[in-house]
Amino acid sequence: MLQQRKGRTALASGLAAALLVLTACASPGTAPAPPVDETRTVTLQPFTPEGELTPGLRVVQEVSGRCVPSVLSPDNDHARRCFATETSVAMDPCYVPDPELGRRLVDHEELRELGIFTVAVCLATPEQTDLTRIYVAEDTGVYSAPTNSVDPHWALELADGTRCVKVFGVKEVRENLHLSYSCDDGGYLYGIPDEELRVWMIHYREKDSDELVYTEVRTAWK
């Protein structure tokens, strides 16, 4: 049977009890996460309108490569899945600026001679600040077909602050739901978020547990 975790509860007394437990377990000086009033959605774009990286981000590695539509974030027009020429490693999501801005960012003769016409920056989690920059010689753009049937979010934050990122290729099914996200606390998410509610809900399984519980989503990135 599905239960509810880290969020809305049916009775006010149950909510009060849960808050008391959280407060008692919190380390000194650490406040429990505030309740979720509405799921926040974030469309990532690491570039400013002037072409600079958003403050707080920095490039620690530079490679050349090619980019195709993002598998993890198919609904973001700036998101890509890029392959480094030097290693053939796939990075997803990566983000490109608007085309005109991309051309300005590679306005150097040596880059143009190599066929480079834009750049992309890649990250593995929303909170990552050290990025890889790819000098892009080939970009096939975004999906031409509608992606309405696909979960467009590549990362979720749960009500208690747990961060989860989308995974592919794991053929595990529980309660008729496929494993869809891996979380930084060792747990997993199954299925896709229920976006019909003001606060989205999704099924969560703790590490070493066989039980799925219903939990709230605080933030979703695409």
Convert the pLDDT of each residue in 40-70 to its tens digit: 999 998 999 888 899 999 999 999 999 999 9
Percent of the residues in the chain that have a pLDDT greater than 70, as a whole number: 83
pLDDT band of residue 3 (cuts 50, 70, 90) is: low
pLDDT tier at 187 (50, 70, 90 boundaries)? very high
8 A C-beta contact, residue 67 and residue 120: yes
The pLDDT score that the predictor gives to residue 103 is 82
Tell me what pLDDT residue 30 has.
Answer: 57
* pLDDT value of residue 146: 57
Mean pLDDT for all residues in the chain: 84
Confidence label for 8 from pLDDT (cuts 50, 70 and 90): very low
Q: Looking at the predicted structure, is the pLDDT value of residue 2 above 60? A: no
Sequence ranges of the domains in the chain: 42-139, 153-222
For residues 54 and 136, give the distance between their C-alpha atoms in angstroms, rounded to a whole number.
20
DSSP state of 53: B
Q: Check whether 14 has a pLDDT greater than 60.
A: no
Residue 22 has pLDDT above 90, yes or no: no
The amino acid at residue 173 is V
What is the per-residue pLDDT for 10?
Answer: 36
pTM > 0.85: no
Helical residues (DSSP H) of the chain, grouped into ranges: 12-25, 99-105, 109-113
Quote the CA–CA distance of 107 and 105 in Å, as a whole number: 6
pLDDT confidence bin for 188, thresholds 50/70/90? very high
**How much is the pLDDT for 168?**
82
pLDDT per residue as tens digits for the range 72-122:
999 899 999 999 998 878 999 999 998 888 888 887 777 777 788 899 999
Spatial neighbors of 20 by CB under 8 A, at least 6 apart, are: none
